[in-house]
Amino acid sequence: MKKGLVGAGAVLLVVVVIGYLAGIVYSRHLFMERLDETLVKISVESGIAVSKQQVSSGFFSTSMRLVAHLDRFDAGGERSELVVPLTARHGIFSTSLDGQLDLEHVAGDTREALFADLLSPGRSAEFTASVSHLSERLKSELRLPQIDRAGDERLPAMTLHAGVLRLNGVEGDFDLSGEWQSASFITPDAQLQFGPLRFVSRYAGEEDNFHQGDELTLDRVQFQGARSLPVTLERIDYHGQTSFAADNLRYTLALAVGDASVYQQRLGSARLSATLDNLDGAASQRLLKGLEQGLSSRRSAAEPITDWTALVEPHWNDLLTVLAGSPQLTVDELELETSMLEKPIHVEGALNFDGRDIMALEPDALRAEDGWRPLLSRLYGDFDLDNAPPLVSLIAGVAPDQSSLNITLDDGTLSINEQPWFKLF
């Protein structure tokens, strides 16, 4: 009886071990297969070629080096590469990864890493991640090295403390978040200091139909030019929502600055909420990609941009399609508060573009003597400003005790309280 139990236990143990080892083999195969699919997708969607190098496969782990060639930054025979050496450790239900990340400048046989050589000698950015084989959920964290760098002729003086980026979720439903405790950039002409900074971006959907929400909080930022007083902004909060579909792109934002000051002299606070709507989504996407490629090619060829019409002309139909839906920018609230005023200034209204019959417009119209007027003349708007200070009312040409102003734009003319005030174009 006992021998039978021992024998059955041994068989069961062998089955478990074989099953475990088979699970590891399958896990390794599944990870490599999905990695290859991901690299192909990156190449197709972004145009960035990513290759696997120095692949070494063990039974429980795989090490390799991923290299992304950033050809848009190539110039004069030199190139830039994003280099990611990593190790993947295979389990039955998940694979864990750890490695490093750096941006390398390659000139001939010479390589120079952004972090390890220039910003934080001897240290690159480090990351950890885990991928579930059942849910395909990714959890990852990228830790930037601490930077304390004195300035020289190549780069400004800079510091960066406690920089972390996190990416969690599955394809089509993920969030990107990050935080920096403090950072500063100092050049002979200006200096910028900020922190702590926290942000999160949540994305759900597909490339041609998605929703994205963004949040950012910045406790303090200070800017000072070489010949100017320091400007400080505190308690900055930003919330943005982007809804993208082939027939419509809609973007809303809410921005608040809790306090602004110049050389410790308080200026006040500000709050803005606005919506941009009625844009053709698919055409907007094509237009932005086309303009980005045009700008990139000009930068690579060291060609200055002197003719914006020539840059836009190859994408003319997309531009007109974007505008044909009559885009609208609505300012739901703009409020400016300062101790120098009794009441906060409040603005609301909308700026519109008339897209009717615009598809008949030819690009040669922009090369005429009046330039972009055929497009700009289609702008019209109507805004109400409440609690205008007396000086603003006087500048507007109305009585100083008239604190409510109606501001309109029609055919290039800015009017205040139905009286033409300024010809914009």
pLDDT in tens, 54-113: 988 887 888 999 998 887 667 667 888 899 999 999 888 888 999 999 999 888 888 899
pLDDT of residue 10: 47
pLDDT of residue 203: 94
Residue 16 has pLDDT above 60, yes or no: no
pLDDT of residue 369: 65
Residue 116 has pLDDT above 60, yes or no: yes
Separation of alpha carbons 120 and 376, rounded Å: 48
Cα Rg, the chain, nearest whole Å:
28
pLDDT of residue 273: 97
String of DSSP letters for 275-337: EEEEE-HHHHHHHHHHHHHHHHHHHHTT-----HHHHHGGGHHHHHHHHHT--EEEEEEEEEE
End-to-end CA distance of the chain: 101
User: What is the value of pTM for the model shown?
Assistant: 0.83
Separation of alpha carbons 65 and 274, rounded Å: 45
pLDDT of residue 4: 52
pLDDT of residue 299: 64
Section 165-188 average pLDDT: 92
Residue 183 has pLDDT above 80, yes or no: yes
Section 172-179 average pLDDT: 93
Looking at per-residue confidence, does 25 or 285 come out higher? 285
- Residues above pLDDT 70, as percent of the chain: 89
Beta strands 157-161 and 147-149: pairing type?
A: antiparallel
Cβ proximity of 260 and 270 under 8 Å? yes
pLDDT of residue 18: 54
Q: Please enumerate in sequence order all residues whose Cβ is within 8 A of that of 308, keeping only pairs 6 or more positions apart, or say none.
A: none
Q: What share of the chain is helix, strand, coil (3-state, %, to 5)?
A: 25, 50, 25
Highest mean pLDDT among 1-5, 41-45, 214-218, 361-365: 214-218
pLDDT of residue 305: 64
pLDDT band at 1 (very low <50, low <70, confident <90, very high): very low
Rounded to an integer, what is the distance from CA 360 to the centroid of its chain? Answer: 34
Residue 6 has pLDDT above 60, yes or no: no
pLDDT of residue 127: 93
Q: Give the tokens for residue 373.
A: 């007027």
Q: Give the tokens for residue 208.
A: 């041609």
Q: Give the tokens for residue 253.
A: 């934002």
Tell me what the pLDDT averaged over the chain comes to. 85
Residue 387 has pLDDT above 80, yes or no: yes
Residue 21 has pLDDT above 60, yes or no: no
Q: Give the tokens for residue 27.
A: 């896990």
Q: How far is CA 214 from CA 175, 200, 211, 281, 350, in A?
A: 10, 6, 10, 19, 23
CA atoms within 13 A on the CB side of 205: 14
Q: Give the tokens for residue 210.
A: 């998605």
Section 149-165 average pLDDT: 86
- Residues above pLDDT 90, as percent of the chain: 43
Query: Each residue of 117-145: pLDDT tens digit?
Result: 988 898 999 999 998 888 889 999 999 99
Query: Each residue of 292-315: pLDDT tens digit?
Result: 877 777 666 666 666 677 778 888
Looking at per-residue confidence, does 216 or 295 come out higher? 216
Separation of alpha carbons 409 and 425, rounded Å: 11
Residue 17 has pLDDT above 60, yes or no: no
pLDDT of residue 375: 83
Q: Give the tokens for residue 307.
A: 């003719």
Separation of alpha carbons 167 and 214, rounded Å: 14
Rounded to an integer, what is the distance from CA 5 to the centroid of its chain? Answer: 63
pLDDT band at 363 (very low <50, low <70, confident <90, very high): confident
